[in-house]
Amino acid sequence: MKLFTVSQMVAAEKTADSLGNSYAHMMETAGRGVAEAVMARWPMAGASVLVLVGPGNNGGDGLVAGRILAEAGADVAFYLFKPRDPAKDENYAKIQQMGLFAVNASFDQRFRVLRTRLRVTDILIDALLGTGVTRPITGDLAKLMQQATTGLAERRAELAAAVRPMLTNLTNFSDKVTRRQGDKVTSADPVTLSPGHLVTPSPLHPFTPSPLHPFTVAVDCPSGLNCDTGELDPVALPADLIVTFAGPKRGHFIFPGATAVGELVVADIGITEEMVADVPVEVATLEMARELLPARPKDGHKGTFGKLLIAAGCEQYRGAPLLAARGAFRAGAGLVTLAVPTALRLGISIALPEATYTAIEEEGWLTAVAARHIHQTASQYDALLVGPGLGDADDFISTLFPADDPAPDLPTLIDADGLNALSRLDNWWQRLPARCVLTPHPAEMARLMGISLAELLERDRIETALAQAVKWNQVVLLKGAYTVVAAPDRRATLLPFANPVLSVGGSGDVLSGVIATLLGQGLAPYDAARLGGTLHGLAAARSGRKSGLLASEIADWLPEAIKLL
């Protein structure tokens, strides 16, 4: 699935129109996609829907969506920011023919009609601007959006008061909520969307509308979110559900704008792969991950599923190699051998008796001696993982990746202290073997680039990862909320995970073990990185938690992620 800039999306629609998929047809398809997504999440019988209609194509999409929801039994009203001429606007003419309520904002003194309608609204559809935001929102439109925000807040408060319990129990802390007798609160059950028309790049469960607030739906993009930069206007309307078209836009995944993005669903509007072949950036989907997942043949043995060597750990960071190895085993590695200081082996062997060890006799940390041993034994393994918890590893890294001799000819993942040690070497990228994956977090990325962290954070994450992958001629996985995987051939994949449960010490070590396992099972570095990152994010999502998940528990959820695929 492609990840678009606004200009790329405009070009794709223009190409589609020239090839016979007209703008009118795409608008009908887009509006139907919005309606189907809403109907999948909320019962329409008796539902009160308000559509905020902008002056452009986004407003046209909203008119189509509202018409279809009305046909499904909803009570739908339309609030138009600018007048529309039914003689020239087929979609506006259709809602008039159906007798649906519509009002122009210019006729609504002090927004009385808008505020009155919001008091009974269950579902608000934002079809004001879509991807059209390029400058601050001011004037009458800003006033309209502010009134909508205030009206939604009042509606939330009213609904919350209606279900607030009269009694507060201070001894029963179950999750059962006691409400006033006679109150009836319902919500739609989660549904599975058909794979043909609607797909979601988010692996999280479908959104279940809360009865305590109106369900807000954005057409293509929340009004006020810049879909290129992620900037968020002060009057922006955050959405519980966004239905975007052909593929998500970059601004959906850039903060602060990403804070206004709830569940993100992509509707197919007939833009084919051939029409967008020149768009280099993708977003990971379950379908992509499923296609990349290595086979598990019934007659496989330990060697079939990869022999991985992990060089990691020191006395200060004893858990890092254990977490990497746990991630590797949970991701399906056949054999995991640890090159770790002898001081760490007893503790690791108790926690993970499945691991084996190299014949390295170094007490507290790895040195050049261990690096030379790895050079000598590299042919026994299918992949190499270097870096987690190494501590001060300059001698080890400079010997493992020498400037004048070839490094071990193995698919290699370098992380954490391995990256930090590399950053202190001149032209470090010229020392690396051909098939590497580098997995820096932002601070490590800044060190590798020789810039400050503040400067890095000002840059576009996707473009930065792409530029460095090209310069270093290696696959780069730049960690963070919405991790980016970039390849030297200028392909990139964004991983649609921004889950705070992943923000725990050791999470990156587990990720390294997963990706290294996939390298050992024969995946190319780019595929191993984007599949490994997806499995890691899926594991956290499948846990259902937002906090309190240990890194080792993330590893333990990996089989569930694989089972899902």
Q: Show pLDDT as tens, one digit a residue, over the chain (565 residues).
A: 999 999 999 999 999 999 999 999 999 999 999 999 999 999 999 899 999 999 999 999 999 999 999 999 999 999 999 999 999 999 999 999 999 999 999 999 999 999 999 999 999 999 999 998 889 999 999 999 999 999 999 999 888 888 888 888 888 776 554 444 444 444 333 333 333 333 344 443 344 555 557 999 999 999 999 999 999 999 999 999 999 999 999 999 999 999 999 999 999 999 999 999 999 999 999 999 999 999 999 999 999 999 999 999 999 999 999 999 999 999 999 999 999 999 999 999 999 999 999 999 899 999 999 999 999 999 999 999 999 999 999 999 999 999 998 899 999 999 999 999 999 999 999 999 999 999 999 999 999 999 999 999 999 999 999 999 999 999 999 999 999 999 999 999 999 999 999 999 999 999 999 999 999 999 999 999 999 999 999 999 999 998 999 999 999 999 999 999 9
Q: Tell me which H or E stretch contains 309.
A: strand 307-311
Name every residue whose Cβ is closer than 8 Å to that of residue 99 and which is 6 or more positions away in sequence: none
pLDDT recorded at residue 201: 42
Q: Which amino acid is at 229?
A: T
Q: Any idea which residue has 């570095």 for tokens?
A: 525
Q: Which two tokens stand for residue 505?
A: 């010490």
Q: 352-357, long-range: CB within 8 Å, 24+ apart, which pairs?
A: 352/322, 352/325, 352/326, 354/329, 355/325, 355/329
Say how far apart CA 154 and CA 175 lie, in whole Å: 26
Are 557 and 550 within 8 A, CB to CB?
Answer: no
Say how far apart CA 422 and CA 244 lie, in whole Å: 41
Strands 436-438 and 412-414: parallel
Which residues in 64-214 belong to E strands, given as ranges? Answer: 75-80, 101-104, 123-127, 198-199
pTM for this predicted structure? 0.91
Helix, strand, or coil (residue 538):
helix
Are 20 and 275 within 8 A, CB to CB?
Answer: no
pLDDT recorded at residue 169: 86
pLDDT recorded at residue 212: 56
Q: Any idea which residue has 């905020």 for tokens?
A: 52
Q: Which two tokens stand for residue 409?
A: 């000819």
Q: What structural domains does the chain harbor?
A: 6-163+191-279 (3.40.50.10260), 288-564 (3.40.1190.20)
pLDDT recorded at residue 176: 54
